[in-house]
Chains A and B, each alone.
Chain A
Amino acid sequence: DAKTTQPTSMDCAEGRAANLPCNHSTISGNEYVYWYRQIHSQGPQYIIHGLKNNETNEMASLIITEDRKSSTLILPHATLRDTAVYYCIVRVANSGNTPLVFGKGTRLSVIA
């Protein structure tokens, strides 16, 4: 079972920041937080991952609370193409290639 809790859906105005929360209160010290998204009729796409420090890449920023029990994915300037289901996943690090355990994710709708 997924070890994360996410809101079922969210709306965001185009051009504004989209902040997607995730709760992972039972996360272990050796587990990373991963975010993937799935655009309609496509396979999931990796966005970002982190352990305890905040991370940023060309797609998004990941903010992890100090106690690591929750995190927020930030899309700084959402566009219509960011409409997708966003999955927050916790996963053991340094364990070789372990599968991803997906929950139901958050359906983000970016509105013009």
Chain B
Amino acid sequence: EAGVAQSPRYKIIEKRQSVAFWCNPISGHATLYWYQQILGQGPKLLIQFQNNGVVDDSQLPKDRFSAERLKGVDSTLKIQPAKLEDSAVYLCASSSRLAGGPGDTQYFGPGTRLTVL
């Protein structure tokens, strides 16, 4: 089966510009996550969707970051305006819901590497 797709793979912008990332999860996966990974650290959750609803966005800097998942499939993550500290890899992951199972396996995309100058 096809994996999680993300685009673009790389993006370089100047501070105060805006940028958007796109994610297409594995077909049929109801849950979608966006993680931010700063160099040298593990990924950190930004937002979690269940179908097209937000489950957890407590870690999302809402003054500049926004995300949506229209129709419960693809998702976009936007940053406006970008700051230097937003330089990171943005990872999208998806998972299916296994009722009664021990959680689920999250499948990650390759990520988008953002550099803010």
| B106 adjacent to A100 (CB under 8 Å) | yes
- Collect the chain A residues with CB atoms within 8 Å of residue B35's CB: 99
**Contact A51-B102, Cβ < 8 Å, known A2-B42, A97-B48, A97-B95:** yes
**B residues 58-117 touching A (CB-CB < 8 Å):** 91, 93, 95, 97, 100-111
Q: For residue A103, give the distance in angstroms from its CB to the closest CB of chain B.
A: 6
How many chain A residues touch the partner (CB < 8 A)?
28
**A residues 94-112 touching B (CB-CB < 8 Å):** 94-105
A101 to B42, CA, bound (A): 8
| A102 adjacent to B43 (CB under 8 Å) | yes
Say yes or no: is B24 at the interface (Cβ < 8 Å to chain A). Answer: no
- Collect the chain B residues with CB atoms within 8 Å of residue A45's CB: 108
> How many A-B residue contacts, CB cutoff 8 Å?
70
CB nearest neighbor in B for A107: B40
Partner pick for B103 among A44, A94, A103, CB 8 A cutoff: A94
| A97 adjacent to B42 (CB under 8 Å) | no
Partner pick for A44 among B30, B91, B97, CB 8 A cutoff: B91
- Collect the chain B residues with CB atoms within 8 Å of residue A51's CB: 102
Chain A, 73-102, contact with B by CB distance < 8 Å: what is the 0/1 string? 000000000000101000111111111111
Say yes or no: is A68 at the interface (Cβ < 8 Å to chain B). Answer: no
Say yes or no: is B33 at the interface (Cβ < 8 Å to chain A). Answer: yes
Q: For residue A64, give the distance in angstroms from its CB to the closest CB of chain B.
A: 14
Say yes or no: is B19 at the interface (Cβ < 8 Å to chain A). Answer: no
A98 to B101, CA, bound (A): 12
- Collect the chain B residues with CB atoms within 8 Å of residue A44's CB: 43, 91, 93, 106, 108
| A97 adjacent to B104 (CB under 8 Å) | yes
- Collect the chain A residues with CB atoms within 8 Å of residue B43's CB: 44, 100, 102
10 contacts between A and B (CB under 8 A): A43-B4, A44-B93, A85-B42, A94-B103, A97-B30, A100-B43, A101-B45, A102-B42, A102-B44, A104-B41
A41 to B50, CA, bound (A): 27
